[in-house]
């Protein structure tokens, strides 16, 4: 078998106002111990999967650019020792501008990183402050320039739209400004208000106004046109690339590939052949770093929850809609019936999702094909009207929808979504 490989670094310098990922502010961190545990868990799970080849590696978080480059190198050395990691295989590191100066980026490159994903989020300092980011637009632009020197053609940026107080005009102005300096890959993410975050609290207390859903839909549609006019190809709902700079790792999730996740809170989907199993398992690692390390030192891994997925596809299945080419525009994901006008009687979307619920949410929120609109579905009616089916699973619990926020009400695997 072949797999992709993900490592989660759970530490951040601070908590952003919108983020509910599994993250911790490090205090008295023993990085050598963390490094040893990451190496140990990588060895254990790769051997358990009996994988022969790793097709991509992704270091996500948290803020993995806070890790010592020696930690990154140690994990990559372990991966290459346990499975075939071909020269030139995509190896991505997520980075925040404040923890990724030129010398640091050079050290990460020496450690084996060949692709960078920078959390720019916005070039508007007011918006950055609202999001709780600890960098400025100048910091982001400086990091982007340094990254392009080292990772030319393989530097991606993340942007968030649909922010409180944001207009379509201000969003497009910022996007166009970034297009004058960016590299060949851009990821656009609509802001999702997550319960338990300070931004969620402020919005629901009425102190921050959210844009109208139709305005947010317009932001997305205008973004697609602006990016297309700049030579970018939309190969997935949130990701755009030009000059062939598609991310192998991003595509692997859409194609339902197996993947191993190591580190506190990591998720994985693979067949544990080493245990004599023949079905894919959804695996969730222990969330708390200190507890996770104790478990890894005791038994070789920190897997907290295992769910057998008989048939191998129940966690991510889009019947009849899995693309057969690299062209992953919205047309692929809604099917021919939707393109002909969303006929309730003819179109049928059978989506069974756990891990990828949030991506389907974005597809629905961004669609502007249908004239009827529910309270979180701009120009699109309730999911049941289109045959949309969220099934229950041990990984996420009963599939349900929060119309007010246009997001799944069950958290489950959602915290891993930003990894992609």
Give me the helix-helix angle, 213-229 and 357-366, nearest 10°: 90
Quote the mean pLDDT of the chain.
80
What integer pLDDT is reported at residue 311 of this predicted model? 56
Model confidence at 330: pLDDT above 80: no
* pLDDT score of 153: 97
Question: Does the pLDDT value for residue 356 go beyond 70?
Answer: no
pLDDT at 326 over 70: no
Which has more pLDDT, 369 or 223?
Answer: 223
The CB density around residue 255, as the number of other CB atoms within 10 Å, is: 11
Whether the per-residue pLDDT at 389 is higher than 50: the answer is no
310 falls in which pLDDT band (50, 70, 90)? confident
Please give the Cα distance from 138 to 352 (Å, whole number): 43
> What's the predicted TM-score (pTM) here?
0.77
pLDDT digits (tens, 9 = 90+) for 270-292: 999 999 999 999 999 999 999 99
> What are the boundaries of each domain within the chain?
2-252, 334-419
Q: For 40-54, 186-200, 244-258, 315-329, which range has the lowest pLDDT when averaged over its residues?
A: 315-329
In the block, which residue shows the tokens 């320039």?
145
- Residue among 289, 354, 285, 413 at smallest CA distance from 21: 413
SS3 270: strand
Q: Which of 254, 234, 244 is nearest to 331 (CA)?
A: 234
Residue 73 pLDDT exceeds 50: yes
CATH class of the domain comprising 2-252 = alpha beta
Provide the percentage of residues in the chain whose pLDDT is more than 90.
72
266: confidence class by pLDDT, cuts 50, 70, 90: very high
ω into 62 cis (within 30 of 0) = yes
End-to-end CA distance of the chain: 21
């Amino acid at each position: 078998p072949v797999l992709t490989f993900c490592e989660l670094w759970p530490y951040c310098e601070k908590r952003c106002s919108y983020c509910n990922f599994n993250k911790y502010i490090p205090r008295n961190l023993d990085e050598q111990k963390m490094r040893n545990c990451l190496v140990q868990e990588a060895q254990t799970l790769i051997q358990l999967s009996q994988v022969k080849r790793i097709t991509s590696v992704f270091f996500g978080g948290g803020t993995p650019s806070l890790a010592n480059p020696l930690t990154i190198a140690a994990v990559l050395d372990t991966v290459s020792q346990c499975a075939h990691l071909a020269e030139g295989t995509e190896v991505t590191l997520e980075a925040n501008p404040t923890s990724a100066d030129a010398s640091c980026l050079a050290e990460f490159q020496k450690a084996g990183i060949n692709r960078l994903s920078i959390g720019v989020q916005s070039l508007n300092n007011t918006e950055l402050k609202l999001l709780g980011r600890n960098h400025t637009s100048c910091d982001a632009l400086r990091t982007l320039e340094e990254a392009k020197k080292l990772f030319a053609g393989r530097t991606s940026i993340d942007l968030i739209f649909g922010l409180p107080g944001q207009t379509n005009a201000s969003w497009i102005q910022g996007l166009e400004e970034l297009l004058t300096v960016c590299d060949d890959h851009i990821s656009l993410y609509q802001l999702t208000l997550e319960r338990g975050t300070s931004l969620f609290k402020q919005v629901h207390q009425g102190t921050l106004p959210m844009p109208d859903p139709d305005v947010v839909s317009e932001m997305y549609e205008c973004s697609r046109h602006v990016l297309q006019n700049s030579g970018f190809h939309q190969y997935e709902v949130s990701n755009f690339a030009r000059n062939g700079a598609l991310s192998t790792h991003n595509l692997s999730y859409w194609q339902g590939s197996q993947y191993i996740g190591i580190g506190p809170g990591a998720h994985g989907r693979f067949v544990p052949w080493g245990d004599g199993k023949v079905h894919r398992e959804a695996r969730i690692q222990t969330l708390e770093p200190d507890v996770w390390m104790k478990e890894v030192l005791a038994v070789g891994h920190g897997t907290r929850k295992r769910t057998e997925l008989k048939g191998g596809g129940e966690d991510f299945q889009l019947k009849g809609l899995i693309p057969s080419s690299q062209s992953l525009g919205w047309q692929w994901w809604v099917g021919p019936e939707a393109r002909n006008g969303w006929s309730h009687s003819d179109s049928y979307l059978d989506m069974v999702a756990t891990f990828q619920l949030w991506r389907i949410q974005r597809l629905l929120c961004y669609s502007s094909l249908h004239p009827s609109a529910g309270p979180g579905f701009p120009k699109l009616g309730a999911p049941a009207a289109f045959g949309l089916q969220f099934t229950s699973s041990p990984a996420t619990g009963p599939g349900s929808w929060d119309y007010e926020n246009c997001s799944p009400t069950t958290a489950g695997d959602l915290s891993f979504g930003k990894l992609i």
